[in-house]
Amino acid sequence: MPQASDHAVIFDLDGTLVDTLPDLHVALNRVLKEEGLQTLAPAETRLMIGGGARNLIDLAFEKRQVANDMAKVDAGFDRFLNYYGAAPTVHSRPYPGVLEALVALSNGGTALGVCTNKPQDMTNQVLEGLQLAHFFGDAVIGGDTLPIHKPDAGHLLAVVEKTGRTAEKTFMVGDSETDVGAARNAGIPVIVVDFGYTALTPEELKADLVISHFDDLLPALETLGFSA
């Protein structure tokens, strides 16, 4: 068993650890099609991910100009949860280098966690379905578990507490302004990947560092003061 490090690394899920867009896109378009609405292109769905499942549905219905019909939106949300929950990992996969990076960090004794606005049940399903759950233990908090969520610092700090480490020894890895906002609010250094789900450029996100592949994660962490 590896000797424990005093550091923790907390990850976002969608667009950071896992490319979940394909399965989210299928479930979302199924709902839109049932409502007689025009379906979305993957590039459109991509930019709606990050605020949680309810936000995804709200944005999709707003795009189709039916956001003010709350009964229809609520029903669509319920069906989306059922459709996506039944098949969350058919096409979704960890990004290249993710597994190797998690193994390296875990073997070095670093505590790992997940802070995501995705609902907790869906988060657990994705992590378990892709055989990633064991890296994080119970340091996984979804967007519907607490009364607050990213970019509120409390969401991220609650995950840090689950790891048994301190915020001063923690790093965040994400892909969006929500992740950067949570990290900044918590006073935690943040790295962003440049392949995630955001309309903003990596430069506009104003993270501490940007990486293009998970092979670059450990060197980036070390630049920010991480040591195994």
Distance CA 227, CA 70 (A): 50
The label of the residue with tokens 């299928």 reads 26
Assess whether 12 carries a catalytic annotation: yes
Q: Of the residues 6, 12, 69, 121, which is catalytic?
A: 12
Strand partners, 10: 113, 172
Task: Give the 3-state secondary structure of the chain.
Answer: CCCCCCCEEEECCECCCEECHHHHHHHHHHHHHHCCCCCCCHHHHHCCCCCCHHHHHHHHHHHCCCCCCHHHHHHHHHHHHHHHHHCCCCCCEECCCHHHHHHHHHHCCCEEEEECCCCHHHHHHHHHHCCCHHHCCCCEECCCCCCCCCCCHHHHHHHHHHHCCCHHHEEEEECCHHHHHHHHHHCCCEEEECCCCCCCCHHHHCCCEEECCHHHHHHHHHHCCCCC
Q: Which residues are catalytic?
A: 12
